[in-house]
Amino acid sequence: MLTEERTQFIHEAISGFADNYGVELTNLDGEDDHVHILFRTKPTTDLVKFINTVKGATARRIRNEYADELKIELWGDSFWNDSYCLISTGQVSLDVLKQYVENQRE
């Protein structure tokens, strides 16, 4: 379901509002059914609000852009499920994290 074209579309959508939350989008890639988003932010950023905005805004935009294709691919009307995993890092270099995200489709 998440083709490279759709993943790029999601990346562009998030880039459009990330600055509003003080978030610097570093990298985004994924597999057929999920994405990995690497970003930098300040400790004061409301991460729950940012992630919920990511999920809501990207779901609306991708459903509008790919409506006909997604009708047969989605289970109901939801693009994302309710859960997410958020991990902070500090012991791994940014280059290692970028490589991990970029290699998700391999």
CATH number assigned to the domain comprising residue 45: 3.30.70.1290
More confident residue, 105 or 31: 31
Q: How many domains does the chain have?
A: 1
pLDDT at residue 75 tops 80:
no
Residue numbers of the domain that contains 48: 4-102
| Per-residue pLDDT, 106 | 63
What lies within 8 Å, CB to CB, of 79 at 6+ separation is: 58, 59, 62, 63, 70
Question: Does the pTM exceed 0.75?
Answer: yes
**Which DSSP state fits 25?**
E
| Model pLDDT for residues 4-63, shown as the tens digit of each residue | 899 999 999 999 999 999 999 999 987 888 898 999 999 999 999 999 999 999 999 998
| Residue 105 neighbours by CB distance under 10 Å | 12
